[in-house]
Homo-oligomer: A and B are copies of this chain.
């Protein structure tokens, strides 16, 4: 099973693609999509949509897992992230993937066992779980991989069926 995780954002949108084969999980691709802060928001959202559609067309994920947007202190930023997540969700369905949302707490719990884990701890565990020689950078790409790993942790039935094949 191929899973694409997405850490939605308008200025920086992280993505991470992982593959589960039996009990092993391997990194396939990770990176970030940036859009120019000086461009109008509609154009940036369309760029994000196009880039995500291209990536999904290239990797053909079975599932797309997106970090849920919660309202933070900065309401203006939250709206941009919300709009980006909407575009990402629609792109996932458009690419024929199943789309799932996970809260930041669910993701932290799935990766570190603790919902209050900090960025560094998350980065280290993503590195460990994928057997990488060093932490994945930039942080948004690592965060996106964490969302994808969270999805695998929440799809135990499907995973065990695949592992048994």
Interface residues of A (CB under 8 A from B): 40-43, 45-46, 48-50, 69, 71, 75, 79, 82-87, 89-90, 92-94, 99, 101
Contacts and interface: CB of A to CB of B under 8 A. Distances in A.
A71 B78 CA distance: 10
B82 A71 contact: no
A110 to B, nearest CB: 20
Query: A-side binding surface: helix, strand, loop or mixed?
Result: helix
A43 to B, nearest CB: 5
Contacts of A48: 90
A116 to B, nearest CB: 22
What copy number does this chain have within its complex?
Answer: 2
A88 to B, nearest CB: 9
Contacts of A41: 89, 101
B90 A79 contact: no
In the complex, which of the residues A69, A79, A86, A89 has the most CB atoms of chain B within 10 Å of its own CB atom?
A86
A42 B82 contact: no
Contacts of A93: 42-43, 45-46
Given A40-B99, A99-B40, A45 B79 contact: no
A41 B62 CA distance: 18
A92 B43 CA distance: 9
Contacts of A89: 41-42, 45-46, 83
